[in-house]
Structure 1
Amino acid sequence: MAIDGIWSYAPEFGHPEADRLAGYTVEATDGTIGHVDRQADGSGMRHLVVDTGVWVFGKSVLVPVGVVDGIDTESGRITVACTREEVKSAPVFRTDRETSDPAYLSSVGTYYRNLPSRRPA
């Protein structure tokens, strides 16, 4: 399986360290999603595990780092180029085993890659 840009930070963000982002607030284009629980790099597919608190019934969601639109180290805030509903509708994240499951990660990548905001105009 080829690794593509959905699993890599944009060049302007460099390669943020996992512990540096833990606790950052995650903002979608239309509001807060939650906070970064951890960053993972399963099979070279770098992503954030975001704790949504009570917003999505206390569940976590997996967000590929390719949708990160900004990292503000001053305020501890990450912005993503998708809506809250798009994140909520992503493939369900149930257990940490999925962070190393290539089939699951592939389905997540396909979902985020095909969001309307990511398609070429």
Structure 2
Amino acid sequence: MANVKLHRLRQLQRFTLCAADGEIGKVEEVYFDDSNWSVRYLVVNTGGWLMGRRVLISPVAVGELDEQAHTLYIELSQEQIENSPPLGADQPVSRQYEQEYLRYYGWPPYWQSDPFSAAQPSFDPHRPLPPFYDTWREGKRDNHLRSSDQVSGYRLDAEDGEFGHVADFVIDDQYWKVRYLEIDTRNWWPGKHVLLNPAWIERVHWLEKSVTVDLCKEDILTAPAYDPKAVISRDYEIKLLEHYARRKYWE
């Protein structure tokens, strides 16, 4: 994982996406799998090209990410994207739609054969759900997709009280996994932002729009400071994980 780089979602939203034969738009948000925090789709606003139509792009199709040119290259043609199954306006992405979408591109379902399984195991529908997966009040869902827009702003609770809200998502550009949630603590400690790994989450309360982590406020208060404008280096990650006495995800 030596070549993996971490990017804030807000940074990726400033990139232009280019197909093999031209620009296709910009990222609006991402859909991630709430069972393991893997990014399953980029939601792209096509702007003037397709009259603002929103399309899904799987990370499977992502090629080079050029930080200097602020460009994300997609290994598909404009025609392929234009003819892809239309995404319903303001409608959740259903498993039925996913099957149609993946069949169109000829990609295997990620819930059966995860394209990034070298980094983490694929979702197994027969495996017990993680403790933070809160479905009992919501009724049955046919997939595990959540929108980054939906989760942005969720309240964060430590073991001893509230300490901030979700401000952004930090995503790696090789395995397309949410490695950290960026937390804004301005309502508790003005000016400080912190990073928390989703593995430290005890529970997500989807209806209450809150996240509970297995940390106390003092742990967070004394953690290495995070500057959203700075590049997240491996040295910084090591200091962060050692502070919380957590294992390194790349080992």
**Count of residues in correspondence between the two structures:** 107
Instruction: Report whether the alignment pairs 1:104 with 2:236.
Output: yes
Which whole-Å deviations, capped at 9, do the CAs of 1:53-111 have from their partners, x for residues lacking one? 1422231111111211100000000000010111111111123324x322212221222
Instruction: Report whether the alignment pairs 1:32 with 2:162.
Output: yes
Unpaired segments ≥5 residues, structure 1 = 3-7, 115-121
For 1:22 and 1:61, how far apart are their aligned partners in 2?
15
Task: Specify which structure has the bigger relative contact order, considering alpha-carbon pairs within 8 angstroms and separated by 6 or more residues.
Answer: 1
| Superposition deviation, residue 47 in structure 1 | 0.6
Give the partner amino acid of 1:20.
Answer: Q
TM-score relative to the length of structure 2: 0.38
Provide the residue aligned with 2:196 in structure 1: 63
Further displaced range: 55-64 or 77-86: 55-64
Aligned in 2, Cα 1:45/1:39: closer, same or farther, shift over 3 Å?
closer
Give the partner amino acid of 1:105.
Answer: E
Aligned in 2, Cα 1:18/1:110: closer, same or farther, shift over 3 Å?
farther
Provide the residue aligned with 1:117 in structure 2: none
TM-score relative to the length of structure 1: 0.73
Which one has a bigger Cα radius of gyration? 2
Which structure features the higher share of helix residues?
Answer: 1
Unpaired segments ≥5 residues, structure 2 = 3-35, 38-128, 134-143, 247-251
Provide the residue aligned with 1:118 in structure 2: none
* Seq. identity, %: 25
Aligned-residue CA RMSD (Å):
2.5
Conserved 8 A contact 1:26-1:78: yes
Aligned in 2, Cα 1:18/1:107: closer, same or farther, shift over 3 Å?
farther
DSSP 3-state at the match of 1:105 = helix
* Equivalence map 1:1-121=2 (5 Å): 12=130, 13=133, 17-42=147-172, 46-98=179-231, 100-114=232-246
